Structure 1
């Protein structure tokens, strides 16, 4: 069985993912793009205010990325809520495998796009979930089924 505290931390980390996704999706509408504009300016150094996020394709990709992040966060929340009490090691393995996969692809693509600071910023999401699962580390990893 897992700790209620670990479950609460995983839900909190999931809420951060959901919140970030909502922020990205909201930026698809220019009047709500301020926080993402600031983030883009910080990551695409130097801070010079040149990022606009105004192109329709940029706004479309913000909507898609935001929606995917919200869906991912909700999925992680539901894993913690329904499966973690009986299968904490499986939830940890599922969550961390998905997180490491996202981290590798997102970070490599960010570097290829010339924005290596995003790869560095991505570490915060990894740390968030590593800390959330810190109490569950001692649990055995379930065998992989085919």
Structure 2
């Protein structure tokens, strides 16, 4: 079992793991800076085959929305760890876990439905990184 100090620190790792995808997808909104987002989508839609592109305006718009949501979600988790965790550690832990699990289920189902089942593997890795030691309540 992890300590509250470990959980609080891990929440920051979770926030970074979520939030780092924000700028990647933001830069996908512009052709000149879209390569990182295109490569990320190519990797998550394994195999890496160059089939992903960011040329369609609707793809760039979706990239803007995704980037904003991910950066905002990462910032929210960071703020929970900074401003709320000490007052309600178990509630913060459960809230972040529920958010991660809802993301995992819907993102994975959507990946399978869209023909990108390989992304479930990557989602599983990201989920384990984001949850880390927070799966169980902190001791002490």
Same fold, judged at TM 0.5 (above): yes
Whether the aligned pair in 2 keeps the contact of 1:41 and 1:48 (CA below 8 Å) is yes
Question: Aligned residues, how many?
Answer: 137
Q: 1:96 is matched with which residue?
A: 97
Q: Which residue of 2 aligns with 1:33?
A: 34
Q: Which has the higher contact order (CA 8 A, sep 6+)?
A: 2
Counterpart CA distance in 1 for 2:44 and 2:100 is 21
Q: Does 1:87 align with 2:85?
A: no
Please show how residues 1-146 of structure 1 align to structure 2 within 5 Å.
Answer: 3-133=4-134, 137-139=136-138
Q: Secondary structure at the match of 2:118?
A: helix
Q: Deviations along 1:6-41, whole A, 9 cap, x unmatched?
A: 212211220221111111111111222112211222
Conserved 8 A contact 2:14-2:131: no
- Which stretches in structure 2 are left out of the alignment for 5+ residues? none
**In structure 2, distance between residues paired with 1:47 and 1:86:** 45
Distance 1:12 1:84 in 2: 14
Checking the alignment, whether the CA contact within 8 Å between 2:7 and 2:133 is kept in structure 1 is: yes
TM-score by length of 2: 0.88
Q: Is the 8 A contact 1:24 1:65 kept in 2?
A: yes
Q: Report deviation, 1:129.
A: 2.5
Give the superposed CA RMSD.
1.8
TM-score by length of 1: 0.84
Shift of 1:132: 4.5
